[in-house]
Structures are given as C-alpha cells and as structure tokens.
C-alpha cells in the first residue's frame, strides 16, 4: 500500500474516531445538561410565603392547649411488635399503649426511606413537594455525587417549607427534638433554625456525626456518645424535657435512631430478646416509651397529652414486615406500611383498632387540629386530620387515594382495597436490575401482594393508571404545590 493510501486510510479513521468522540461528548453533555436542568429547575422557592403563614399563627391559651409527643423509630417493621404477633421481640409498653388507645393497621410512611419520610411527616406534604426525594447524604464525595449530579435532594429542608415545630412555636409551645434530625447538616437547615427550641441528637445517622445539644436556640455543645447507651441518653433527655415543660404546652419529637443499623443496646437489654441485637434495641426503645408514660402519669399529664408512635419506613436488613412483600426503599407494602399507635387518655377510646388507610403526613394536620389550628391554605397539604378516625367518630379513611413515590418517581396508588403499581425495579434479589409489572393487587384478600389481577380487571387498572398520570401532570404543572 502506498504512503498516500496509508495516509488517506488513517485520515479517515482519525476523522471517524474524532466524530464519534465529539458526537458522544455532545450526547453526554446534552444528557447531563438536560438532567441538571430537571434537577435544579422547578425549585420555585418562596420564603415570603412561609413568613406570611407563620406570622398569621395565633397564640393559644396555655391552659387549654394539649401537649403532643411524636415518637418516631427508624426502620422498624410492622411485625416487630408483640401485639402484632412477634414471638421474638416483646414490647409490653407499646402493647399497653395500643390497649389504652388506637392501633392503625393500614398506616403508611410517605416514603420508603428516612429523609423524605421525615419531610412528609413534618410538613404534611408528599416529600416530592419539599424537594426531599431521597436520603440526605453526609458532606463529601457522596454528597456531590448523589445529591447534585443524581439530583436526590438539596442540603436540607427548604426554608419555605413550614414545619410542625415552627407552627407550634408561634402557637405558644415549647418545642424539642431528641434523636435523629436527618433534614440538613448545616445552616440554615439545622433543627434550631427550623422551629426547635431544644435539640439533643444527631444531624444524620448516629454513626456519621457527633451528638449536639442546642439550648436557648443558639448555644451549641458537642459531646462524645457511647452508642451502647444511646437509648438511655435519648430517654434521659426526653423525660427531662417533659419535666422541665410540665407547666406549659410542649411539643416533643422523639426521633429514635434504632433499630436502624449499626445496632447497639445497653447492658440491661443486650442479649435479652429472642430477636438478636435488633430485638434488643426494640425492647430497649419500648422501655423508653414506658418511661415517658410513667413520667406523664407522675406529672398528671395523661389526659392533657396526645402521644403518637410510628416508624419512618419499613425494615431494612433485619426486622419483620408482618409478612408483607418488600422492605425499605421498595414501593411495596413492606417498605411503606409501618406501626402506628395513638393514645390520649379520655379523648381516644381504649382498645380501638382501625384498618382505614392513612399516611404519616396526616399527623401534621392531626396535630394542628389537636392544638386548635386549621390546616394551612397557602400550599397543598396532602395530609388530613385523623382525629375523627382516632376518636371513633368515623371508621372511614379521609383519603380516596394514596400515592407511593420511590425517589422522584410516582410508582403506585392505593384506592380503597386496590393497589396498582407501574412497572418498577424488581424486589427479586436474583434480578435486581430488571423491572417488573405493572401489578394490580387486592389488599383485602391479598395483603402480601402475591397475585397480580391485572388481566382480570383491565378497566380498574386503566382507571388507576389514569389517576397516576393525572397526578404526574398536576405535579409537573405545580411542583411545589403552591396555592
């Protein structure tokens, strides 16, 4: 081959390689650019809206306002309670709480992982409206990778979201957070900047950040923590908060770190359960719940205090879903359905059990109603007041539909006893990268989501698909849900 032919051949190859490289680069850049526009677009921040809402909250009569204690566990399964049939774990105090109050057996978290579930709980809104789509990662490479390039979440709960403790502060409550925050690790996303007068706990998971104490709004102290005694420390601070504020209305958000891994238990409880270290942590937090009720009785606050117990999502590596399909970070029942017990002596009738579907963002409107406040009207509040259901004034769910998100994606919907899923990632460990579905389940006869009835009820599937499509369009038109 002549030198001229060789040069032409290499010239063509070089041109082809260059063209492919440039074309590929443009495709990648275009795709990344489009993704970043999608990630950073639609934020629609509106701080004056939040300021106006909070400025309109009236102070209440301290003598008539009830206390509210919201106890949230981390990664606890519906079947981890002995009242739900657990043979390995014994929870006598939670069992007694249910006997004295109401147990909801079809109660859901608003997300299958912790940060968005907590955002939904404290704002009364689907987490996608708050921009908290996934777990807030600690600072560093994971933060930049997951949160910015993948577009999971901002660094914390947006300032224009109005949180339950912020409203309670304006109402005249003393507000406290004991335990896990996980809605931001830096200013302006810290607990004391989002409505809490007192904070003792971890900003992220208990093994990724030192414990902090905020007193009098601004004073910060960091202290070392022996995690074997973490529940003991949390219990101490929760009980002290109740005692210190017994003569004024208070809101206590007791956000337990357990049974999220890594698992620790004190000497008193280590090895005492039949459920391994996981069971030990659950039995110790059950003890802590008992100590809170003991304190309320001693202070004569039983009839003046609404206490709610639930979990942020279903169990992860261990834990009992009560036979439900799926686990944490999956849109199936086992990832979303969680324990929920409420007790308010002489207001909630004892021994009540209801299977009416509800979701943790309902606790926002429920708590406001208990404090004599209406639900905000400047934004979409997805939660509903559950007090009529909890006090046996009705046995019907306040929701016609409940939607289920996995990250930013709307995956499923429940309407009555029917649950429909779009095609989504598999829950089969042998095929983790394959999608499956769509699925249609009748939860009345098949709560474990074992039998797909899509072919038997095509019209119903079409109707539920239309509900999902309509919700998608509404969210795209108004991402933050401003009114």
- Does a structural domain hold residue 331? yes
Structural domain harbouring 422: 409-477
In this prediction, residue 183 carries a pLDDT of 94
Q: How many domains does the chain have?
A: 2
Q: Which has more pLDDT, 40 or 353?
A: 353
Domain harbouring 425, CATH code: 3.30.1120.10
What is the distance between the alpha carbons of residues 87 and 105, in angstroms, rounded to a whole number?
A: 18
Catalytic residues: 114, 182
Q: Minimal CA–CA distance to 453: which of 409, 480, 417, 411?
A: 417
Structural domain ending residue among the three candidates 352, 379, 400: 400
Q: Are 334 and 325 within 8 A, CB to CB?
A: yes
Same domain, 292 and 439: no
In this prediction, residue 291 carries a pLDDT of 98
User: What single DSSP character describes residue 184?
Assistant: B
Q: DSSP of 136-179, one letter per residue? A: PPPSSHHIIIIIIIS----SBS-TTS--HHHHHHHHT-EEEEEE
Average pLDDT over residues 151-177: 91
- Does a structural domain hold residue 140? yes
Q: Which has more pLDDT, 29 or 16?
A: 16
Q: Which has more pLDDT, 475 or 134?
A: 475
Beta bridge partners of 86: none
Structural domain ending residue among the three candidates 338, 367, 400: 400
In this prediction, residue 225 carries a pLDDT of 80
Q: Are 287 and 238 within 8 A, CB to CB?
A: no
Q: Which two tokens stand for residue 36?
A: 């970043």
pLDDT in tens, 411-456: 999 999 999 999 988 888 788 788 899 999 999 999 999 999 999 9
Q: Which two tokens stand for residue 342?
A: 């409420």
User: Percentage of the chain surpassing pLDDT 70?
Assistant: 85
What is the distance between the alpha carbons of residues 7 and 55, in angstroms, rounded to a whole number?
A: 77
- Does a structural domain hold residue 444? yes
Q: Is the pTM of this model over 0.85?
A: yes
Same domain, 325 and 214: yes
Same domain, 459 and 381: no
Q: Which has more pLDDT, 76 or 14?
A: 76
What is the distance between the alpha carbons of residues 417 and 356, in angstroms, rounded to a whole number?
A: 10
Q: Minimal CA–CA distance to 386: which of 354, 419, 433?
A: 354
In this prediction, residue 35 carries a pLDDT of 45
In this prediction, residue 20 carries a pLDDT of 66
What is the distance between the alpha carbons of residues 424 and 124, in angstroms, rounded to a whole number?
A: 26
pLDDT in tens, 89-132: 999 999 999 999 999 999 999 999 999 999 999 999 999 999 99
Q: Which two tokens stand for residue 239?
A: 């009980």
Q: At what angle do helices 276-298 and 230-244 cross, to 10 degrees?
A: 20
Same domain, 395 and 416: no
Same domain, 327 and 214: yes
In this prediction, residue 12 carries a pLDDT of 61
Q: Which has more pLDDT, 452 or 41?
A: 452
Domain harbouring 309, CATH code: 3.40.720.10
Residue 147: band (very low, low, confident or very high) from pLDDT cuts 50, 70, 90: low
Same domain, 444 and 349: no
User: What single DSSP character describes residue 482?
Assistant: B
Q: Which of 189-203, 216-230, 261-275 has the lowest mean pLDDT?
A: 216-230
Q: Which has more pLDDT, 154 or 78?
A: 78
Same domain, 394 and 415: no
Distance of CA 112 to the CA centre of its chain: 7
Average pLDDT over residues 325-353: 97
What is the distance between the alpha carbons of residues 63 and 265, in angstroms, rounded to a whole number?
A: 39
In this prediction, residue 166 carries a pLDDT of 98
In this prediction, residue 154 carries a pLDDT of 72
Helices and strands in the chain: count of H runs, count of E runs: 12, 18
Same domain, 395 and 425: no
Same domain, 209 and 350: yes
Same domain, 316 and 352: yes
In this prediction, residue 354 carries a pLDDT of 98
Please report which helix (H) or strand (E) contains residue 47, including its range.
Answer: helix 47-55
Confidence check: pLDDT of 142 > 80: no
Q: Which residues of 63-94 are buried (b: 16+ CB within 10 A; e: fewer)?
A: eebbbbbbbbbbbbbbbbbbbbebeebbbebb
Which spans in 260-309 are helix H? 276-298
What is the distance between the alpha carbons of residues 307 and 203, in angstroms, rounded to a whole number?
A: 24
- Does a structural domain hold residue 367? yes
Average model confidence (pLDDT) for the chain?
A: 90
Q: Which segment, 16-25, 180-189, 423-432, is predicted with the most confidence on average? A: 180-189
Same domain, 350 and 425: no
In this prediction, residue 386 carries a pLDDT of 98
Would you tell me how many other CB atoms lie within 10 Å of the CB of residue 215? 13
Same domain, 425 and 365: no
Confidence check: pLDDT of 34 > 50: no
User: What single DSSP character describes residue 80?
Assistant: G
User: What single DSSP character describes residue 223?
Assistant: E
Average pLDDT over residues 133-150: 64
What is the distance between the alpha carbons of residues 348 and 475, in angstroms, rounded to a whole number?
A: 36
Structural domain ending residue among the three candidates 400, 429, 445: 400
């Amino acid at each position: 081959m002549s030198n001229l032919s060789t040069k032409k051949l290499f010239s063509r190859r070089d041109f082809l390689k260059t063209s492919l490289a440039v074309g590929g680069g443009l495709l990648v850049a275009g795709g990344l650019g489009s993704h970043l526009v999608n990630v950073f677009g639609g934020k629609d921040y509106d701080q004056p809206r939040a300021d106006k809402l909070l400025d309109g909250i009236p102070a209440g009569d301290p003598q008539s306002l009830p206390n509210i204690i919201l106890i949230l566990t981390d990664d606890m399964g519906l079947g981890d309670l002995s009242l739900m049939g657990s043979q390995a774990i014994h929870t006598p105090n939670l069992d007694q709480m249910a006997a004295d109050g109401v147990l909801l057996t079809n109660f859901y978290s608003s997300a299958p992982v912790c940060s968005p579930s907590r955002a939904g709980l404290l704002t009364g809104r689907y987490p996608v409206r708050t921009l908290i789509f996934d777990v807030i990662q600690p600072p560093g490479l994971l933060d930049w990778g997951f949160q910015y390039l993948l577009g999971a979440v901002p660094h914390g709960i947006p300032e224009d979201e109005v949180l339950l403790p912020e409203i309670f502060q304006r109402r005249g409550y003393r507000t406290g957070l004991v335990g896990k925050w996980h809605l931001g690790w830096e200013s302006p996303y810290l607990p004391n900047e989002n409505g809490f007068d007192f904070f003792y706990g971890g900003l992220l998971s208990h093994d990724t950040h030192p414990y902090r104490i905020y007193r009098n709004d601004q004073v910060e102290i960091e202290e070392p923590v022996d995690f074997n005694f973490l529940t003991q420390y949390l219990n101490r601070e929760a009980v002290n908060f109740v005692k210190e504020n017994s003569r004024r209305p208070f809101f206590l958000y007791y956000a337990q770190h357990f049974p999220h891994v890594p698992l620790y238990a004190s000497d008193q409880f280590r090895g005492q359960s039949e459920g391994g270290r996981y069971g030990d942590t659950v039995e110790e937090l059950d003890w802590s719940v008992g100590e809170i009720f003991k304190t309320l009785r001693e202070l004569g606050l039983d009839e003046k205090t609404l206490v709610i117990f639930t979990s942020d999502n279903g169990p992860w590596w261990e834990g009992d879903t009560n036979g439900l399909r799926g686990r944490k970070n999956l849109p199936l029942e086992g990832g979303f359905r969680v324990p929920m017990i409420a007790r308010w002596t002489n207001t909630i009738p004892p021994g009540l059990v209801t299977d009416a579907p509800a979701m943790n963002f309902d606790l926002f409107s429920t708590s406001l109603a208990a404090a004599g406040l209406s639900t905000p009207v400047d934004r979409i509040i997805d939660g509903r007041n559950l007090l009529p259901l909890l006090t046996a004034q009705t046995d019907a769910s306040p929701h016609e539909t409940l939607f289920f998100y996995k990250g930013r994606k709307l995956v499923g919907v429940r309407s009555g006893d029917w649950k429909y899923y779009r095609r989504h990632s598999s829950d089969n460990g042998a095929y983790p990268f394959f999608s499956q579905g769509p699925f249609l389940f009748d939860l009345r006869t098949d709560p474990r989501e074992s039998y797909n009835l899509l072919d038997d009820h095509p019209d119903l599937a079409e109707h539920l698909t239309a509900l999902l499509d309509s919700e998608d369009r509404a969210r795209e038109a108004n991402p933050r849900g401003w009114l």
